Each structure stands twice: as C-alpha cells, then as structure tokens.
Amino acid sequence: CFNALDRHVDAGHGDRTALIWESNDGTLLNFTYQDLLTQVCRVADAMQKKLGLAKGDRIIIFMPMVPEAVTLMLAAWRIGVIFSVIFSSFETGPIKERIEHTGAKVVFTANGFQRGPKMHSLKPRIDEAVKGTSVKNVVVLNRNGEKSEMKKDRDIWWNDFLSGAADHIPAEKLESNDPSYILYTSGSTGGPKGMVHSTGGYMTGVYESSRLVFQLRSDDIFWCTADIGWVTGHSYTVLAPLLHGCTTVVFEGMPSWPNKDRIWEIIDRHKITVLYTAPTAINDFVATGSEWPDKHNLNSLRLL
C-alpha cells in the first residue's frame, strides 16, 4: 500500500489520477492518488477501530467491480490484514468453503449490483454462507438500493462502517514473507486450494512483470479488463498500475453491453494507452467485425 500510494503522494504527485471508475450504467468517478490514499486510510482505520481487525486476521471480499473493493484490498495491505477475494458470481457453497478455510472474521459485500442487463443479489448468498462460521461482522455496501435483511450486532452498512474514520493512518511495516492474500485455485484436480501469496515477492513480481511486458509509464492510462476476483485482477487491475504511478481504469459492466462497441467507447472516452484483455474477448471482437471499433478514435492506444 505504501509503495502503491504514499510513495507517489510523498513525491508530490498526489493530484495525479490514480483510478477512473466507470459503472455499468456509465457513471464516472475519478480518484487522485491523494483521494485514494485518504479513502484507503479511512477504510483501514475503520477495520481496526470498528471491527477490531489486526495484522494476520483474515477477511473475505465479495464485491462487484466498484472503487470500494479496490480500497478494501489496499486497506488490508496497509495494516497487514490478509484478504481473500471471491468472484461475485460464486454461489453459497464455494463462498462458505472459503470462509471456513480462511477462518475469516469479517465479510465485505454489497446488497447487489447490475452487470450488463442482469441484476445480481449478493447479500442473501452471504447470509447463508456465514452460518456456523467464524464470521463476526458483515459490512454491506448499498450498491443498488435493494432491501437487505440486516442482522443486529453483526451486519453494518458501509457508510456506518466508515463514520468517524481517520483520514490518515501510517502503513504497517511488514516482512517480505508476511502473507499478502489468499486466492483459491479452480479445483479442477480435487478441491480448490488456498494459495498464499507473500508481501514482498508478490509486489516485486507484479512490478517487474508489468514493467517488462506492458512497459508501464507514469503517464499511462492502463485498463486491465480482468475482474478483481481473479489473480490477473489483483495484479494488473489494482496493484501494477498504482506501483508505477499511472492511472488504472476499473469497469463494472460488460465490454459488449449495451452495444458491441462498449469497450472501444471506453478506450476513446478515457484515452486509454494500454489495454490488457483476454484472448477469448479478442476472438469475440474479431467475430463482430471492424464496424464497431471504426466508430471510435483509438489513437491513444500504444499497446494491446
């Protein structure tokens, strides 16, 4: 967290754009490095004071692609809390398995969200998954106005969670081999296995791979289309661009909705310089023909 945020603010780059968020319905939010650092500190302080979380404790993040999910990851890194992100399409069974395996004390989720044309409810899945587990609190982001059943003394709305939190707290000093996060394998050969990534090795690996492969520069506007539920999202949607002091784009929706040119529209609108996406997506774009990208100015792209 210090290397992703404080370092750039301390160097006088606090007004540089760190994160551009575009929602499913086209709502836009911009965060400077100072904005993001302040928000991350508030989340980290609330984790400690409201929830009693400390270095080595585990949490679950079951969230849509919203800025709050990014701040949760960075805040956990800031105070040495070990997180496990669960992809927002997972159902109750796999969620419960991961809660039980990690021994998580807190789950962060949203009531629901919309991806493309489809509405998704998250809170009911968490309510079922936490039964009989180590979870003491569930923090709920009101993402879509959907009514949620809130269990007394366990469930907390996001805004109440952040109420009174400090705008700045120092980053914990961690050893390079301290655990960073736990992410589960697909389970194609037996059950899913919780892979523990270390703090120093993971960070330097992400920094160096993004330097060599993407040649990231501080003036880049970088869009990795991967969801944070996958390791690619951890590494290249969240951490890599911030380590390099450039801008990361986080998108909640689908690249082909409401029209097949949504991905090219986003590139044009934000003047994205580096796009990192999946081969299956590229194949889908090829199949739709050139008429969709031809509608947009893609001259900002220097690397695909």
DSSP secondary structure letters along 226-262: --TTSHHIIIIIIIHHHHTT-EEEEE-S-TTSSSTTH
Task: Name the amino acid, one letter, at 35.
Answer: D
The alpha carbon dihedral of 238, 140, 118, 183 has a sign of positive
Taking Cα atoms as reference points, which of 241, 294, 287, 286 lies closest to residue 265? 294
φ/ψ of 8, rounded to 5, equals -75, -40
Structure confidence at residue 15 (pLDDT): 98
Structure confidence at residue 187 (pLDDT): 79
3-state class of 62 per DSSP? Answer: strand
Give 112's strand partners: 121
Structure confidence at residue 186 (pLDDT): 83
3-state class of 225 per DSSP? Answer: coil
* Residue carrying structure tokens 């501080």: 218
pTM, two decimals, is: 0.97
| Host H or E run for residue 10 | helix 7-10
Can you give the pLDDT of all 304 residues of the chain as single tens digits? 999 999 999 999 999 999 999 999 999 999 999 999 999 999 999 999 999 999 999 999 999 999 999 999 999 999 999 999 999 999 999 999 999 999 999 999 999 999 999 999 999 999 999 999 999 999 999 998 888 899 999 999 999 999 999 999 999 999 999 999 999 998 788 889 999 999 999 999 999 999 999 999 999 999 999 999 999 999 999 999 999 999 999 999 999 999 999 999 999 999 999 999 999 999 999 999 999 999 999 999 999 8
Structure confidence at residue 138 (pLDDT): 98
Do 125 and 83 contact (CB within 8 A), yes or no?
no
Structure confidence at residue 189 (pLDDT): 84
Neighbours of 28 (CB within 10 A): 10
215 CB-near residues (< 8 Å, 6+ apart): 303
With b for 16 or more beta-carbon neighbours within 10 A and e for fewer, the 157-191 pattern comes to ebeebbeebeeebebbebeeeebbbbbbeeeeeee
φ/ψ of 115, rounded to 5, equals -120, 115
- Residue 303 is classified by DSSP as B
Structure confidence at residue 247 (pLDDT): 98
Q: How far is CA 262 from CA 179, 232, 278, in A?
A: 38, 21, 16
Angle value at C-alpha 248, between 244 and 251, nearest 5 degrees: 160
Segments of 2-50 assigned E as strands: 17-22, 28-32
Q: Is 290 exposed, middle or buried (0-12, 13-18, 19+ CB in 10 A)?
A: exposed
| Host H or E run for residue 65 | none
Do 192 and 94 contact (CB within 8 A), yes or no?
yes
